[in-house]
């Protein structure tokens, strides 16, 4: 299978997530990093490109310059896809320009900062027919795919209750006042943003819930707060959910997304309870899935176990007992996107799903509803 040539927007020197994306893309040897506009100023961007080993003529000063000049190159040489790993306010304009120039897009989450931007991206993709992936990386874990299959196959019966939590403590103080890059842009009220904690990590919790259960949130009651004195953007979100009705049952849910829970690292976890059983998955222990039954013993499934579903097996890269996680989950997203770009030329490796533009749009709608409900409403909001 041939490699996909890609250019990156953002992800320069000092960026955590840009380096993660590039490392994950190398795992399958399916992507070639050929150009970049890696920072917010021309000087930093070109310096970052040189540090990343890009040739001088393909380290661009801005994303606009990159898209324009790459589109003018010979089709056999130009980039084929754009990977966007910038702060949230750049996602929509860069992605729309890339689509209009004929490039596939892989965009970090959340997709964008407004419903209007999301709908514009939907129109642009519909007009071009190009691949658009959104890196909700937690759906790339093998045991998440196993959980999804078990729910879809009815092993839990009718889903009644979902509890999803994303607990962090890194913003329990005014870290942004120290100049820390990741904290600064996430909490800057002067920038268009997709919300604070609800957009940054709540978007992951919402997508993970939909991915595993197949249920859509229909109503919410949200409490969004800025609990650290002096901060104006939300750092703590607590949401009650009612999902669409299935088989006469409307499942209930609780979603917590907090970045001020002192001592918590990256504690994303989900529990799903149905009429015939339940399951539990923790991101900090990603290689196991706990499944509960009504009468039988609790079962613990391990990544790589014999008998797991085809989707979980396709997402597994190394033998059982060897820890596998964050980078591999990202790599699974990129494998699915590459298969979609190559289409009939993708070869015979096991097919793997990936989050699409539709997932990103649904996430934006959820975030905006939560912000509106959490700040302006005193009752339930219909999505």
Which among 85, 105, 135 is the end of a domain? 135
pLDDT tens digits for range 175-192: 999 989 889 989 988 877
Looking at residue 253, its pLDDT comes to: 98
Q: Quick one: DSSP state of residue 61?
A: S
Domain membership flag for residue 334: no
Instruction: Check whether residue 163 and residue 111 sit in a common domain.
Output: no
Looking at residue 349, its pLDDT comes to: 84
Looking at residue 378, its pLDDT comes to: 67
Domain count across the chain = 2
Instruction: Check whether residue 124 and residue 19 sit in a common domain.
Output: yes
Closest CA to 323 of 304, 300, 296: 304
**Both tokens assigned to 113:** 């900062």
Instruction: Check whether residue 217 and residue 364 sit in a common domain.
Output: yes
User: Domain range holding 301?
Assistant: 141-318+357-376
Closest CA to 38 of 13, 21, 72: 13
Instruction: Check whether residue 181 and residue 119 sit in a common domain.
Output: no
Instruction: Check whether residue 49 and residue 162 sit in a common domain.
Output: no
Which among 97, 115, 135 is the end of a domain? 135
Domain membership flag for residue 345: no
Looking at residue 263, its pLDDT comes to: 97
DSSP bridge pairs for 279: 272, 291
pLDDT tens digits for range 276-306: 999 999 999 999 999 999 988 999 999 999 9
Domain membership flag for residue 326: no
Instruction: Check whether residue 205 and residue 123 sit in a common domain.
Output: no
- Using alpha carbons only, give the angle 347, 348, 351 rounded to the nearest 5 degrees: 100
With contact defined as beta carbons under 8 Å apart, do 187 and 249 qualify? Answer: no
Instruction: Check whether residue 51 and residue 150 sit in a common domain.
Output: no
pLDDT by 10s per residue, the chain, length 383: 789 999 999 999 988 999 999 999 999 999 999 999 999 999 999 999 999 999 999 999 999 999 999 999 999 999 999 999 999 999 999 999 999 999 999 999 999 999 999 999 999 999 999 999 999 999 999 999 999 999 999 999 999 999 999 999 999 999 999 989 889 989 988 877 778 999 999 999 999 999 999 999 999 999 999 999 999 999 999 999 999 999 899 999 999 999 999 999 999 999 999 999 999 999 999 999 999 999 889 999 999 999 999 999 999 999 989 999 999 999 999 999 999 999 978 878 889 999 999 999 999 999 999 999 987 666 788 88
CATH number for position 296: 3.30.360.10
With contact defined as beta carbons under 8 Å apart, do 193 and 111 qualify? Answer: no
Q: Quick one: DSSP state of residue 321?
A: T
CATH number for position 21: 3.40.50.720
Instruction: Check whether residue 149 and residue 193 sit in a common domain.
Output: yes
Instruction: Check whether residue 161 and residue 227 sit in a common domain.
Output: yes
Domain membership flag for residue 348: no
Which among 135, 168, 194 is the end of a domain? 135
Instruction: Check whether residue 181 and residue 199 sit in a common domain.
Output: yes
Instruction: Check whether residue 152 and residue 301 sit in a common domain.
Output: yes
Instruction: Check whether residue 212 and residue 251 sit in a common domain.
Output: yes
- Global confidence as pTM: 0.95
Domain membership flag for residue 43: yes
């Amino acid at each position: 299978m041939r490699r996909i040539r890609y250019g990156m927007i953002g992800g320069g020197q000092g960026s955590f997530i840009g380096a993660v994306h590039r490392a994950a893309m190398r795992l399958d040897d399916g992507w070639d990093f050929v150009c970049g506009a890696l920072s917010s100023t021309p000087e930093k961007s070109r310096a970052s490109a040189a540090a990343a080993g890009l040739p001088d003529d393909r380290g661009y000063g801005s994303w606009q310059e990159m898209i324009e000049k790459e589109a003018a190159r010979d089709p056999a040489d130009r980039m084929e896809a754009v990977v966007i790993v910038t702060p949230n306010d750049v996602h929509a304009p860069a992605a729309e320009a890339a689509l209009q120039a004929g490039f596939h897009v892989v965009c970090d989450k959340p997709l964008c900062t407004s419903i209007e931007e999301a709908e514009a991206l939907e129109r642009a993709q519909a007009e071009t027919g190009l691949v658009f992936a959104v890196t909700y990386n937690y759906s790339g874990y093998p045991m998440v795919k196993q959980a999804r299959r078990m729910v879809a196959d009815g092993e839990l019966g009718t889903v009644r209750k979902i509890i999803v939590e994303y607990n962090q403590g890194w913003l329990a103080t005014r870290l942004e006042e120290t100049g820390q890059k990741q904290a600064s842009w996430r909490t800057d009220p002067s920038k268009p943003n997709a919300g604070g904690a609800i957009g940054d990590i709540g978007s992951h919790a919402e997508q993970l819930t939909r991915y595993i259960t197949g249920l859509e949130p229909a109503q919410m009651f949200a409490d969004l707060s800025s609990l650290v004195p002096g901060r104006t953007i939300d750092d703590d979100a607590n949401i009650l959910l009612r999902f669409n009705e299935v088989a006469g049952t409307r499942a209930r849910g609780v979603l917590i997304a907090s970045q001020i829970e002192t001592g918590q690292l990256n504690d994303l976890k989900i529990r799903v309870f149905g009429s015939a059983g339940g399951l539990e998955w923790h991101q900090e222990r990603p290689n196991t899935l706990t499944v509960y039954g009504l009468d039988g013993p609790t079962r613990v499934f391990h990544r790589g176990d014999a008998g797991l579903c085809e989707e979980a097996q396709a997402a597994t890269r190394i033998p059982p007992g060897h820890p596998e996680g964050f980078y591999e989950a990202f790599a699974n997203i990129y494998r699915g996107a590459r298969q979609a770009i190559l289409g009939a030329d993708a070869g015979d490796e096991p097919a793997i799903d990936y989050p699409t533009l539709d997932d990103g749009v649904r996430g934006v709608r959820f975030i905006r509803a939560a912000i509106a409900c959490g700040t302006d409403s005193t009752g339930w909001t219909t999505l």
